[in-house]
């Protein structure tokens, strides 16, 4: 017999879809969901990305599927594979996103006045349009079955403006500005969540935002110093520290929670 905690947080026989599963955090979410008992479909535009190391996961409950979330037909085909291979999805983790780190191409990291229109469009296509399409297709299927939990991943830069002073150390090499498209796209996630939470409440589909701060990935020491000074806990998260919140939102432990924004940021937004 399952314990109270297992029945509350466990995901035995649940089917989850994780977009952007080939990335650093996406791969960690896949592992966490598998450990909680779920069957998991890993969606990514390319599953050759070594960061997530999905090919190393030995699990008969894992389905690797190449999906371009900016294309409706690709998502539909991915969903068909999930239905055939794992069953009807109960959980959707909208994790896929484009970001611009300080070591990105100079053309995409200049001041606002010179920010390229194409860079804006590329980020909006993945971060907002892709999430919208996944919610339409996978979330729409969930609504038809009368159950589901959708977790939309956002960023503290969708809640707060980036502190450009953190990036001033790059000035001697080339100016870097955390781009506006990332912040605007991640801010849009918040109201996409609220809209769908009310729209699908009658269908027993819960929709919540998980807002995250930075995760350690061997960043430049000068960047880390500036970032750490803004975080009460004095560090970035490691890649496993967001999984607990993810499992909470995916499981029955959050059964009365919808339309909310759960912030996990080491206290960054307190100051």
What is the per-residue pLDDT across 19-69, written as a single tens digit (0 to 9) for each?
Answer: 999 999 999 999 999 999 999 999 999 877 555 567 677 678 999 999 999
Segment 178-222, tens digit of pLDDT: 999 999 999 999 999 999 999 999 999 999 999 999 999 988 899
- 104-107 long-range CB contacts below 8 Å, 24 or more apart? 106/174
Residue 58 included in any domain: yes
pTM: predicted TM-score of the whole model, two decimal places? 0.94
Which domain covers residue 231, as residue numbers?
A: 4-258
* Position 262 confidence tier, pLDDT thresholds 50, 70, 90: very high
Q: Please report the pLDDT score of residue 110 as a whole number.
A: 82
Residue 95 included in any domain: yes
Task: Count structural domains, the chain.
Answer: 1
Selection from 261, 98, 263, 255 nearest residue 183 by Cα:
98
Q: What is the dihedral of CA 227, 20, 107, 211, to 10 degrees?
A: -40
Instruction: Give the dihedral sign, CA 220/211/77/252.
Output: positive
Residue 263 included in any domain: no
Residue 248 included in any domain: yes
- Check which CATH number belongs to the domain holding 175 and give it: 3.40.50.720
Residue 271 included in any domain: no
Residue 68 included in any domain: yes
Residue 265 included in any domain: no
Are the CB atoms for 131 and 94 separated by under 8 Å? Answer: yes
Segment 111-129, tens digit of pLDDT: 899 999 999 999 999 999 9
Residue 268 included in any domain: no
Residue-wise over 122-141: b if at least 16 C-beta within 10 A, else e?
A: ebbbbbbbbbbbbbebbbeb
Q: Please report the pLDDT score of residue 48 as a whole number.
A: 72
Distance CA 4, CA 235 (A): 34
Selection from 157, 131, 270, 154 nearest residue 211 by Cα:
154
Q: Which is it for strands 91-94 and 15-19: parallel, antiparallel or unpaired? A: parallel
Q: Please report the pLDDT score of residue 55 as a whole number.
A: 67
Q: Please report the pLDDT score of residue 162 as a whole number.
A: 94
């Amino acid at each position: 017999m399952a314990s109270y905690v297992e029945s509350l947080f466990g995901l035995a026989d649940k089917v989850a879809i994780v977009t952007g599963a080939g990335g650093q955090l996406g791969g960690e979410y896949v592992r966490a969901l598998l450990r909680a008992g779920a069957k998991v479909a890993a969606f990514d535009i390319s599953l050759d990305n070594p960061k997530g190391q999905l090919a190393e996961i030995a699990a008969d409950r894992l389905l690797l599927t190449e999906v371009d979330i900016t294309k409706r037909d690709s998502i539909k085909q991915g969903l068909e594979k999930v239905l055939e291979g794992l069953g009807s999805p109960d959980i959707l983790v909208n994790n896929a996103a484009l970001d611009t780190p300080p070591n990105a191409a100079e053309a995409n990291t200049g001041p606002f006045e010179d920010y390229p229109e194409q860079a804006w469009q590329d980020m909006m296509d993945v971060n907002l349009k892709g999430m919208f399409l996944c919610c339409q297709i996978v979330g729409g299927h969930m609504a038809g079955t009368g159950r589901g939990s959708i977790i939309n991943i956002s960023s503290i830069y969708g809640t707060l403006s980036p502190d450009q002073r953190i990036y001033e150390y790059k000035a001697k090499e080339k100016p870097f500005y955390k781009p506006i498209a990332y912040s605007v796209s991640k801010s849009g996630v918040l109201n996409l969540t609220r809209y769908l939470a009310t729209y699908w409440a009658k269908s027993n589909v819960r929709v919540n935002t998980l807002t995250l701060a930075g995760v350690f990935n061997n960043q430049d020491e000068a960047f880390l110093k500036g970032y750490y000074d803004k975080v009460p806990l004095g560090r970035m998260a490691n890649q496993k520290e967001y999984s607990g919140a993810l499992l909470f939102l995916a499981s029955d432990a959050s059964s009365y929670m919808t339309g909310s924004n759960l912030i996990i940021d080491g206290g960054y937004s307190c100051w």
